Structure 1
Amino acid sequence: MNLQVLDYSIYLEPLYLLIGFAVFDIIIFIIAIILMCKLRGLKNRYNIFMKGEDAKSLEKIILEKLDEIETLKVSDRKNKEDILKINETLLLTFKKVGIIKYDAFNEMGGKLSFAVALLNKKNDGFIINAMHSREGCYTYIKEIINGQSYIILGDEERQALDEAIGKV
């Protein structure tokens, strides 16, 4: 058998080639028109943005805004420092309170005596005990450190301390 090599050559007629290039040119032309319209819109927005005496007016506005930002940074830094000072002060303030009213001497009939415990966050503070009687009022104060007293506490004072600490 004799094998023949088939020669396939692509032959385009010039008319088809010319029509193809014309369609390609029309597509490119349409794309160019769309891009010019978008460019015109962008130029309009740019002109509106730059509107003013000159471009320096925009520069002036930007510099003013940068100054405002710097002022805000300084103010923010100062506020943070103030907040830290306030938080440190709050650690020392008396936040925990315990109050117990009682009748110190049974002859009075009313609960006119009291024990007040005032503590900070670390359970440091004091207890004031005011005992009322017919002869007068006697007031005592006892120091509290870490929720403990180095002086013996009475029952009412212990109750006021426990209430302030939150054990009750």
Structure 2
Amino acid sequence: MNSNFLNSLGLGGLDVGIVLVVLAALSFVLLVMCIVLCVEHGKLKKRFNRFSQGRDAKSLEKEIGDVFAQNVAIKEVVDKNKRDIKTLFRRMETTFQKVGLVKYDAFPQMGGKLSFSLAMLDEKNNGYIINSVHGSDGCYTYSKEIRAGKCDLVLGTEEQKALGIAMQI
């Protein structure tokens, strides 16, 4: 069969049956695509209905705005917590974190190890050594300042041990 339309397109020698088969195949593909799109649209509509649950667009808009406002408030709280943690870390640098304790008998006739040397240091090994000497006539307490793990005064054996224990922590 000869068609003027096919001749004008330059397809005059093409069989009309082939054209109809190609058009039928394309129609079938388009039908399948329409069915897939309808199914996807139905799923999306169900999800939207579940999300909105009877609320109108205005209430959804308000709820979304509230969520954003809550996010801003949460961010402010998180930022404040970060600042507070930095402050705590700065303060902790100067608190006593390292402790060394040595108990001993200051005098041979005294038992029970009632005398002690206590070293208390911060993160940078600054702090104090407290030495308490217990004798039969009383208890005497002395303190020595420590800077960067060193003392300007001579340390006794027990004080050196307490300082060594504290600095190993």
TM-score category (smaller protein): 0.7 to 0.9
What TM-score does the superposition give when structure 1 sets the normalisation length? 0.82
Report the residue type matching 2:38 in the other structure.
Answer: M
* Structure 1 unaligned blocks of 5 or more: 1-9
- Which of 92, 106, 119 in structure 2 is aligned with 1:104? 106
Note closer, same or farther for the CA distance 1:34–1:155 as it changes in structure 2 (3 Å cut).
closer
In structure 2, how many angstroms separate the alpha carbons of the residues matched to 1:117 and 1:150? Answer: 15
Equivalence map 1:35-46=2 (5 Å)? 35-46=37-48
* Cα deviation, residue 148, structure 1: 0.7
In structure 1, how many angstroms separate the alpha carbons of the residues matched to 2:45 and 2:113? Answer: 86
1:156 aligns with 158
Aligned length: 158
* Structure 2 unaligned blocks of 5 or more: 1-11
Equivalence map 1:103-142=2 (5 Å)? 103-142=105-144
1:23-72 Cα distance to aligned partner (Å, 9 max, x none)? 33333233333323433443443344344342011111101101110110
Note closer, same or farther for the CA distance 1:95–1:12 as it changes in structure 2 (3 Å cut).
same
Note closer, same or farther for the CA distance 1:54–1:128 as it changes in structure 2 (3 Å cut).
same
- Which of 14, 17, 31 in structure 2 is aligned with 1:15? 17
Report the residue type matching 2:121 in the other structure.
Answer: L
- Which of 23, 26, 29 in structure 2 is aligned with 1:24? 26
In structure 2, how many angstroms separate the alpha carbons of the residues matched to 1:96 and 1:75? Answer: 33
Report the residue type matching 1:129 in the other structure.
Answer: N
2:61 aligns with 59
Report the residue type matching 2:137 in the other structure.
Answer: E
1:84-117 Cα distance to aligned partner (Å, 9 max, x none)? 1111111111111111111112221332111111
- Which of 88, 91, 97 in structure 1 is aligned with 2:90? 88
* Cα deviation, residue 123, structure 1: 0.6
1:6 aligns with none
User: What CA RMSD, in Å, does the superposition of the two structures yield over aligned residues?
Assistant: 2.1
In structure 2, how many angstroms separate the alpha carbons of the residues matched to 1:78 and 1:128? Answer: 39
What TM-score does the superposition give when structure 2 sets the normalisation length? 0.82
In structure 1, how many angstroms separate the alpha carbons of the residues matched to 2:25 and 2:73? Answer: 61
In structure 1, how many angstroms separate the alpha carbons of the residues matched to 2:156 and 2:81? Answer: 45
In structure 1, how many angstroms separate the alpha carbons of the residues matched to 2:40 and 2:163? Answer: 78
